[in-house]
Amino acid sequence: MTAPVSRPYALYDVFTATPFCGNPLAVVFAADGLSDERMQTIAAEFNLSETVFINKPVNPAHTAALRIFTAVQELPFAGHPTVGAAIAIVEARRMAAGDALSGVNTSVEMLEEKIGLVRAAVRIAPDRPGFCEFDLPKRSAHVEVDFDEAMIAAALGLGLHEIGFENHRMGVWSAGVPILLVPVGDVETVSRAVCNATLWQETAPVVAGKEGPAFAYVYSRGGVSHDADFHARMFAPGEGFVEDPATGAAVAALSGAIALFDGLNDGHHNYRIEQGVEMGRPSSIGLHLDVAGGQVAQARIGGEAVMIASGHLLV
């Protein structure tokens, strides 16, 4: 019998500066040698929305290769594992070097993910949560797929008349992970949404490249926080959890819808999306869009993360 290998791990709360808010993430270091099946088993054992495994990069000029798993499947890309992993790598590197942190320190980390190379800028400072902002590896695009809007609304406990606001309409968008965006008129309607898992599995669209139906992202303008531009909830029945407190991949998908439906002028546009409020785990996700010639030229997502635990896996 092969002796187990001690692999360090850390738990982070992501898209928040406050422990036990935001989206919890397991970060497993030194994951080289773990099979796909073993990584999936470990992710199921942590039973969080996502677990990220840090491996040596294929290209030695890059920082690391990331593998991202929910409790039931691997994802090609996800926002809160990218933010959490980048911050965890930088913090672990400094701890290993024994450096005393003095002032603000910044670095650029190149992360190999299934979707492609992700450039992440990390900032750490004494007595502050780490901050990371990354370039979207793929621009959000609308996905043509058939679905019944009335049935989708019913699966979310809403009426068809409550769907849509201004120019925003329901549709599937993807920047690596397909998301069914469901715009509604106000924060109160978002808060009333309740996902019927059985009905969702029966009625939600299935998109090529993803096991199971698309995730549901219900959003409106405004928010509970005074600085929020959008208020959102993300439902993912069938993924081992019903609701997610912070979803970078959904915000990445939302970027395309914002650019189209709001008819953004050329220039820089900055947004703050709040999520997880109804779960008691409020999160804050920053979205930056650079528009040129009426098209999104570049999009970035950013947020903070704080470590709440660490240990070793014997696998």
Strands 105-113 and 64-69: parallel
Task: Enumerate the domain spans of the chain.
Answer: 6-137+304-314, 141-300
> Which 3 state secondary structure label does DSSP give 9?
strand
**Which active-site residues does the annotation give?**
50
Alpha helices, H only, 103-164: 149-155
In the numeric block, which tokens belong to residue 121?
């800028």
How many alpha carbons fall within 13 Å on the CB side of residue 126? 5
Work out the burial of residue 278: count CB atoms within 10 Å of its CB; fewer than 13 is exposed, 13-18 middle, 19 or more buried.
middle
Mean pLDDT of the chain: 94
pLDDT, tens digit, 9 for 90 and up, residues 163-181: 999 999 999 999 999 999 9
The mean per-residue pLDDT over the stretch 4-13 comes to 95
pLDDT at 169: 98
Percent of the chain with pLDDT over 70: 97
DSSP per residue, 15-65: S-SSTTSSEEEEEE-S-TT--HHHHHHHHHHHTSS-EEEEE--SSTTSSEE
The mean per-residue pLDDT over the stretch 281-289 comes to 98
Architecture of 6-137+304-314 per CATH?
Roll (3.10)
pLDDT at 83: 98
**Residue 288 neighbours by CB distance under 10 Å:** 17
In the numeric block, which tokens belong to residue 224?
């509970």
pLDDT, tens digit, 9 for 90 and up, residues 141-166: 999 999 999 999 999 999 999 999 99
Work out the burial of residue 83: count CB atoms within 10 Å of its CB; fewer than 13 is exposed, 13-18 middle, 19 or more buried.
buried
Kindly give, in sequence order, each residue whose CB lies less than 8 Å from that of residue 100, ignoring residues fewer than 6 positions away. none
pLDDT at 311: 97
- Could you tell me which CATH number the domain at 141-300 has? 3.10.310.10
Nearest to 23 by CA among 217, 314, 281, 295: 281
pLDDT at 218: 98
pLDDT at 100 over 70: no
Amino acid at position 154, single letter: A
pLDDT, tens digit, 9 for 90 and up, residues 179-237: 999 999 999 999 999 999 999 999 999 887 677 788 999 999 999 999 999 999 999 88
**Same fold for the domain at 6-137+304-314 and the one at 141-300?**
yes
In the numeric block, which tokens belong to residue 171?
């549709």
pLDDT band at 1, cuts 50/70/90? low
